Amino acid sequence: MAPERFFLELDPPACALRDWPHVVIVGGGFAGLKACHALAGKPVRVTLIDKRNFNLFQPLLYQVASGLVSEADVASPLRQMVGQAPNIQVLLGEVVDIDPQAREVVFNDHRYGYDHLILASGSGSTYFGREEWRPLAPPMKILEHADEIRRRLLMALEEAEQTLDPERRRFLQTVVVVGAGPAGCELAGSLIELMHRAIRRDFKQLDHDLCRVVLVDPLERVLPTMHPKLSAAAAGYLQQAGVELRLQAKVEAIAPGRVSLRGADGLQPLEAATICWTAGVRASRLGVLLAERTGCPVDRGGRLLVEPDFSVPGHPDIHAVGDLCAYLHTSDGKPLPGMAGPAVQMGGWVAAHILARREGRSLEPFRFTDLGSMAVIGPWYAVADLRGLHVTGLAGWILWALAHLAFIPDSENRITLFTKWMWQIATRQRTALLITGRPDQHLGVDVGLFRAELHAEPDAADMDEDSAPLAA
Ligand SMILES: Cc1cc2nc3c(=O)[nH]c(=O)nc-3n(C[C@H](O)[C@H](O)[C@H](O)COP(=O)(O)OP(=O)(O)OC[C@H]3O[C@@H](n4cnc5c(N)ncnc54)[C@H](O)[C@@H]3O)c2cc1C
């Protein structure tokens, strides 16, 4: 086992820190980050382990996918966010196993001890047993997914710009979004705005009337978790903007460039160059892994059924929060939704609970404060369900913008996003429409080099980057 050098060089003196209990937090998303903030400066030493070196603001991923903002506008390095607190260490690595008996997590070939473990590893997408659909219809869970959706869409539009065949053009200019929850509606609304307005002047050959965004869902209304009035308002706005709704239509199959839908009229094929998937969520695999290690029950989505204090039954030192847990200790017995608000409140409460336990105090039981839910459907248009108060249109958009700006954990991103939103609304132009991640444009591509030079035997000069021959 690797020796624990961790914290030895830090101030305050190592002896004090070494005696402090060790809280390991897995996952620096909404829940894990909040727990970190709550433990910063407290008499515990904290290790935050994440497989990415940044915190991602998932609610705005659709804006990256549709070229409204860039990757760094919705993500911030964890080291800058919490790593500067003297009692917090940030480590990059994927936790692959947990040993509850030895009180250790396993990552990067290390076994790492803990006194308290907070698991906040979130959730991923699921294709309900049809994993072969994943490469054909990318999900929207991480930055790379959003990049991939943007790349596919922009590549299709570039090809359409050079295509004479109207049938092929129609295919290239069609996008299918599967799933009409908030993420699907937001993506569909943003894509139709992009295709009908934002690029109208940029792509001169495109036939804008052929640009189609089709939103598909097996249920009978969009935004099914919101009040029917808001669903109707959102559906009306989307249709007016040009989005085609295919509701009560189940995806039967996905093949390259084709989605087969089963609805009231039987099986219907839908041809589209770009297909996106926002339909299914499944808890991080650490949920099932911990269930195997501890016997903790999980629900159908792989979420751990935790105790009222978010601990795993029989293991008061292990807590699961955020999308990873199913919290059923609510007044109506329904699980808390897999959303940012509950995740943040859970992370903060568990951190306070651990501190209280160390001090021999007990904390008020966890009470979720429901702040409502929102979805932005277009520029200046959002729907908001604020605990029974229903707001639509511009007022909804202002509430949405304020709530998201307040929730964004990074001040610089807050300013950047607000500026970009205003710029986009004023000009209808998008600045992040970059095609990156092309397989033929990666490291090692012969940019600026003559082919003959590339294929020549390397000599000493070629090995030195600074003296590599450039094209005249
Ligand atoms: C496209 C989209 C739009 C959304 N829109 C909204 C919205 O408008 N409003 C809202 O309230 N909610 C929204 N949500 C849901 C919300 O983002 C989640 O509920 C929230 O992120 C859950 O927080 P979390 O801390 O549990 O997990 P996450 O925020 O997902 O964080 C999990 C972290 O764990 C890390 N991790 C995972 N596995 C490991 C491992 N094995 N080892 C180490 N690190 C690991 C990940 O890298 C990640 O940083 C949206 C989600 C998506 C995908």
| 145 and 241 belong to one structural domain | yes
Domain presence at residue 66 = no
Rounded to the nearest angstrom, the distance between the alpha carbon of 29 and the centre of ligand 1 is 6
Helices 228-241 and 182-193, axial angle in degrees (round to 10): 20
Contact between 47 and 40 (Cβ < 8 Å): no
**pLDDT for 78:** 96
**pLDDT for 12:** 43
Strand bridging mode 311-312 / 315-320: antiparallel
What contacts 343, CB < 8 A, 6 or more positions away?
A: 29, 30, 31, 34, 120, 122, 321, 322, 323
| 289 and 261 belong to one structural domain | no
Query: Which ligand 1 atom is nearest residue 121's CA?
Result: 34
pLDDT digits (tens, 9 = 90+) for 441-468: 766 665 555 555 555 555 444 444 433 3
| 147 and 273 belong to one structural domain | yes
Query: In this structure, what are the phi and psi dihedrals at residue 37, rounded to the nearest 5 degrees?
Result: -60, -40
Pocket test for ligand 1, best of 25, 30, 186 (most atoms within 8 A of CB): 30
Query: Which ligand 1 atom is nearest residue 52's CA?
Result: 47
Rounded-to-integer distance, Cα 66 and Cα 63, Å: 5
Where do we find the tokens 């991602």?
56
Here the CATH number for the domain that contains residue 212 is 3.50.50.100
Task: Name the residue among 216, 221, 234 with its Cα closest to residue 272.
Answer: 216
Domain presence at residue 399 = no
* Domain final residue, candidates 226, 260, 279: 279
Nearest-CA residue for ligand 1 atom 38 is 121
* Domain final residue, candidates 225, 260, 279: 279
Contact between 400 and 384 (Cβ < 8 Å): yes
Query: Which ligand 1 atom is nearest residue 33's CA?
Result: 25
| 119 and 139 belong to one structural domain | no
| 270 and 287 belong to one structural domain | no
Contact between 252 and 261 (Cβ < 8 Å): yes
**pLDDT for 275:** 98
| 156 and 118 belong to one structural domain | no
Rounded to the nearest angstrom, the distance between the alpha carbon of 128 and the centre of ligand 1 is 19
Query: Which residues share a beta bridge with 450?
Result: none
Domain presence at residue 390 = no
| 210 and 318 belong to one structural domain | no
**pLDDT for 443:** 66
Instruction: Give the pocket of ligand 1 (CB within 6 Å).
Output: 26-32, 49-52, 58-59, 61, 94-95, 120-122, 140-141, 182-183, 284, 286, 322-324, 338-341, 343
At 15, the pLDDT band (50, 70, 90 cuts) reads: low
Range of the domain at 179: 131-279
More confident residue, 132 or 210: 132
**In this model, does residue 116 exceed pLDDT 70?**
yes
Mean pLDDT lowest among 15-29, 185-199, 322-336, 442-456: 442-456
| 175 and 100 belong to one structural domain | no
Here the CATH number for the domain that contains residue 99 is 3.50.50.60
What the block records as the tokens of 439 is: 């397989």
What contacts 117, CB < 8 A, 6 or more positions away?
A: 23, 24, 26, 98, 103, 105, 317, 318, 319
| 121 and 137 belong to one structural domain | no
Mean pLDDT lowest among 204-208, 384-388, 414-418: 204-208
pLDDT digits (tens, 9 = 90+) for 242-295: 999 999 999 999 999 999 999 888 999 999 999 999 998 999 999 999 999 999
**What is the mean predicted confidence (pLDDT) over 161-190?**
96
Pocket test for ligand 1, best of 121, 126, 223, 399 (most atoms within 8 A of CB): 121
| 116 and 221 belong to one structural domain | no
**pLDDT for 273:** 97
Rounded-to-integer distance, Cα 182 and Cα 342, Å: 16
**In this model, does residue 330 exceed pLDDT 60?**
yes
**In this model, does residue 29 exceed pLDDT 90?**
yes
DSSP 210: G
Nearest-CA residue for ligand 1 atom 37 is 121
Query: Which ligand 1 atom is nearest residue 339's CA?
Result: 19
**In this model, does residue 150 exceed pLDDT 50?**
yes
Rounded-to-integer distance, Cα 346 and Cα 332, Å: 18
Domain presence at residue 406 = no
Q: Say what the pTM is.
A: 0.90
- Per DSSP, the three-state class of 164 is coil
Mean pLDDT for all residues in the chain:
89
**pLDDT for 298:** 96
| 251 and 274 belong to one structural domain | yes
R_g of the chain, CA atoms, integer Å: 25
**pLDDT for 465:** 41
Residues that are catalytic? 186
**pLDDT for 462:** 42
Structural domain tally of the chain? 3
**pLDDT for 71:** 96
Domain presence at residue 370 = no
Domain presence at residue 273 = yes
Domain presence at residue 400 = no
**pLDDT for 444:** 63
Contact between 419 and 425 (Cβ < 8 Å): no
* Domain final residue, candidates 231, 250, 279: 279
Rounded-to-integer distance, Cα 80 and Cα 84, Å: 6
Domain presence at residue 432 = no
Rounded-to-integer distance, Cα 40 and Cα 90, Å: 12
| 288 and 265 belong to one structural domain | no
Nearest-CA residue for ligand 1 atom 7 is 59
